[in-house]
Amino acid sequence: MKVYLESFGCSASLASAEIMKASVERLGHELLGPAAAAEAEVYICNSCTVKYTTEQKILYKVRSMGEKGVQVIVSGCMPEVQLEDILHANPEAHILGVNAISRLGELLSLIERRMAEGLPAGGYLELRTSEPLGFLNVPRERSNPNIHICQISQGCNFACSYCIVKNARGKLRSFPPEDIVKDIRSAVAEGCREIWLTSQDDSQYGMDTGVKLPELLCMISEIPGDFKVRVGMMNPFSVLPILDELVDAFDSDKVFKLLHLPIQSASHSVLKRMNRLHKMDAVDEIITKFRTRFEDLSLFTDIIVGFCDETDEDFEETVEWVKKYRPEKINISRYSPRPHTKAFSFRNLDSRISVQRSHTLHKVCEQIKLGSKQEMIGWKGRVFVSKYTEMGDVLTRTDAYRPVVISGSGLKPGEYANVEITGAKPGYFMGKLIG
């Protein structure tokens, strides 16, 4: 069969998509690219339900592909919490549970049998598993052959009032550390030079089993080979109990000095309504300890603007925090009410207020990034070669994960080089080799 797979959402979702693509090809089906999507007999939608706009885009694709006579499979988070919406859009859409990516081949075989025998659709097929299976040590069709995305756990043990993903992925289930190490060891042997550790919250890893994230990072750092590890998003309230050990684990030469710490808001009243279990003094403690140890640290954060009953004063607290701590990257989201969450029943702000606050914060962030980029011009230091660009150049990373593109160098992924940053573009720096 001709199969087109489209994935939405986070890096964990992307990792699942890579595994499912490999499964499609291993079973002898033809995996189509976006340009040939119109030829598909089967459309696999690896869904995301974090934002309303994404949800609506997915439901449109599920509906329109079905109307064209294409067999539709919906995987990812949406089937776990919005099954009725999916089946309303396409009553014949087949369902693959978020934990059941290893059963995709079984589902495709059932669909192929129906098609070969000319049987009527007969309603949707649904395959699920209660525990996550097939996320590690399996073949995958990587989006970039130099980058391996390793999901280290499924689910979350906390309950932010706005978050629907907890309902979709369930309680925390940390994957065995020995399986993670084996998965990464194999990826490095296959030529991957950048390892992304991903989950709903990396710093929760091991809270249900005993081997915590710092110990896991030490185990990964002992794997032979030239590679670097990017640790994914970590919530302040789950970082705090392991803070000292985590800073020590980041001291490894194989770990990028990148701290992705979502605050969502700097207002304690908003954080309370969000059921975010941290105070801003804890955030300050975390950032201070990381910056004290790693002077050249990159700080990423996530912020939701326009959350229920957020006042002008609440928003201004967040703006002032951003100006003080100057994160290199901020993922800004306008609050989007999600079904089955506690905040769904809260009173929402006028959307025009959310739009205005989003624009204001974006302007502040752009000013900060512009200043930071100018400060980096003339920087000299060691970089790690991550991957080739589409233009044939190489994308390198500083120890703090800042991207530097080098042209005409002959460098290969996995190598180190000394460079000078000579200029800045919107998404990266330009550099040249130095002795």
CATH number at residue 64: 3.40.50.12160
The closest alpha carbon to 16, from 59, 79, 85, belongs to: 79
Structural domain range at position 392: 380-433
Specify whether 338 is located in the same domain as 426.
no
pTM (2 d.p.): 0.94
Is 67 within the bounds of a domain? yes
**Distance in angstroms (rounded) separating the CA atoms of residues 86 and 90:** 6
Q: What does 227-259 look like in DSSP terms, one character per residue?
A: -EEEE----HHHHGGGHHHHHHHHTSTTB--EE
Specify whether 102 is located in the same domain as 18.
yes
pLDDT at 120: 57
Is 134 within the bounds of a domain? no
Please write the tens of the pLDDT for every residue from 94-137.
999 999 999 999 999 999 988 887 665 557 899 999 999 999 99
Q: Is the dihedral of CA 333, 338, 341, 346 positive or negative?
A: positive
- What angle is formed at CA 158 by the lines to CA 155 and CA 160, rounded to 5 degrees? 110
Give mean pLDDT, residues 200-219.
97
Specify whether 368 is located in the same domain as 390.
no
**Distance in angstroms (rounded) separating the CA atoms of residues 343 and 352:** 19
Q: How confident is the model at residue 389 (pLDDT cuts 50, 70, 90)?
A: confident
Q: Which residue has the higher pLDDT, 242 or 118?
A: 242
Please write the tens of the pLDDT for every residue from 33-73.
999 999 999 999 999 999 999 999 999 999 999 999 999 99
Please write the tens of the pLDDT for every residue from 392-431.
899 999 999 999 999 988 898 889 999 999 999 888 999 9
Is 309 within the bounds of a domain? yes
pLDDT at 188: 97
Model confidence at 433: pLDDT above 60:
yes
Beta strands 380-388 and 394-398, pairing class: antiparallel
Q: Point out the least confidently predicted range of 171-180, 216-225, 420-429.
A: 420-429
Task: Specify burial of residue 226 (Cβ count, 10 A radius: 0-12, 13-18, 19+).
Answer: middle
Specify whether 227 is located in the same domain as 353.
yes
Task: Please state, as a whole number, how many other Cβ atoms lie within 10 Å of the Cβ of residue 39.
Answer: 11
Task: Please give the C-alpha separations between residue 363 and each of 329, 330, 367, in angstroms, as whole numbers.
Answer: 13, 12, 6
What is the number of residues in the chain?
435
Specify whether 283 is located in the same domain as 268.
yes
Is 139 within the bounds of a domain? no
Specify whether 255 is located in the same domain as 365.
yes
* Domain count along the chain: 3
pLDDT at 115: 82
Model confidence at 149: pLDDT above 80:
yes
